[in-house]
Amino acid sequence: MKQKLQKLNPELEKEKYIYILVIFLAAALTGFIAGENFQNGTETISIDAEINSSNSVETVEFFNHSVDFMVEDGTNSTFYMDKNRDGSADQTFDTESDGEIHQNNVLVDYPENVYRITYRYQDSPEIEDDGWMEIYRVEALK
């Protein structure tokens, strides 16, 4: 075996080949573990919250945070999000009033993390006070 190793590089001794092999294996293992952690970088929870004409304000709680979602009814419903729950809208949702169910998401940014809130909504332009929004998933993006 020593002759085969010397053919690869005659200046390296057997122990150095072993050190190189150990370092290579350690690097491969570290890369595998880091890759697994990167793929599992999001934590997801399911939410079951709906706002509509009979429930115009809904508080959604996730990962030690609370956000209020609100709806202003009319021919075209308007949906709002109150991130700090002070009673004022921090964000108005761009929605389509075409009677179809639409799905979208919004990012909510806090100092320690960013969260993706996924929702679906429907609003018909011909029917007054029929708009609804369902919040059903929150992901912690790491």
Q: Where are the domains of the chain?
A: 2-39, 43-141
Q: Tokens for 103?
A: 């799905």
Res 102: pLDDT? 96
**For 75-103, b where at least 16 C-beta lie within 10 A, e where not — what string?**
eebbbbbbbeeeeebeeebebebeeeeee
| pTM (predicted TM-score) | 0.68
Instruction: Give the confidence band of 134 by pLDDT, cuts at 50, 70, 90.
Output: very high
Q: Which residues pair with 119 in a beta bridge?
A: 104, 135
**Phi, psi (degrees; rounded to nearest 5) at 92:** -105, 135
Res 73: pLDDT? 86
